[in-house]
Structure 1
C-alpha cells in the first residue's frame, strides 16, 4: 500500500524536522496506544471509532491495518464501524465505504502475507 510508504516517509521527515512540539506530539500519540488498563486491540478500536467520526481517512486506514494485524475479525470491525455510523451519522458513510475497501485489501494481502508485514 502506498499509504504506508508515504506515512513512514513523512513521519520521518516531521520527527527529524527538529521542531520540539511536533516531536513531543508524535511521541504522545504513540504512547496513547500502549497497553495499560485497556489492551492494545481495545485501544485501536477506540482509535478507529474516533477517527471515523472525525472523518480522518488516513487515521481510519492506519487503525484498520493495526486491528487486522492484532487479529480483529471482520465482524468486530463492522461492529465498530456501526458504532461510528450511529455516533457520526450519515456523513460517515463515504468513510465506511473506504474502510470496507481497506479491509478487503488487507484480507487479500493476508493470503500471501498473513502478518501484513508489507504494511509495517
Structure 2
C-alpha cells in the first residue's frame, strides 16, 4: 500500500476512534444520520457518493473529498464520471475549488494505482 494512502487511512481511523470515544449524544446522532443518509434509498448509494464528492469539493474539505473518492470508486463510479464531477464542482464553487480538485486528482491516481497493484497481485 502506498505510504500516503496508509497514513491517511490511519489518521482517519484515529479520528473515528476519537469521535466514538466522545460518545456524546450529538456526535452519536450525527454518525447515525450519516449512515442513514448514505444508505440505499430513492437515490442509490452510488449516486449519493457522487453528490457527496461534489459537495465536499465545493466545501473544500480535503478529508471529506478523500473519503468520498474512495466511496465513489467502491460503488463503481468511473474515472470519467469523477472527472465530470470535478468540472461540476469547479463550475459551482468557482476557481477557489481548483487546488482541491488538483489534490483530489492526485489522491485518485493513488487509489487507481493501489487497485491496479491488487489486481496484478491477484492475477499472478
The two structures have a TM-score, normalised by structure 1, of: 0.90
SS in 2 for 1:34: coil
In structure 2, stretches of 5+ residues that fail to align are: 120-124
Tell me the equivalent position of 2:42: 37
Whole-Å separation in 2 of the counterparts to 1:12 and 1:105: 25
Count of residues in correspondence between the two structures: 114
Deviation per residue, 1:50-91 (Å, 9 max, x gap): 010000010011000111111211110000111000000000
Tell me the equivalent position of 2:122: none
The two structures have a TM-score, normalised by structure 2, of: 0.87
- Shift >6 Å, 4+ stretches: none
Tell me the equivalent position of 2:117: 112
Whole-Å separation in 1 of the counterparts to 2:14 and 2:36: 20
Deviation per residue, 1:8-52 (Å, 9 max, x gap): 121122112131111111111122110100101100011000010
Larger Rg: 1 or 2?
2
> Greater share of helix residues, 1 or 2?
2
Out of 22, 27, 37, the position equivalent to 1:17 is 22
Residues 1:73 and 2:102 are matched in the alignment = no
Q: CA RMSD in A?
A: 1.1
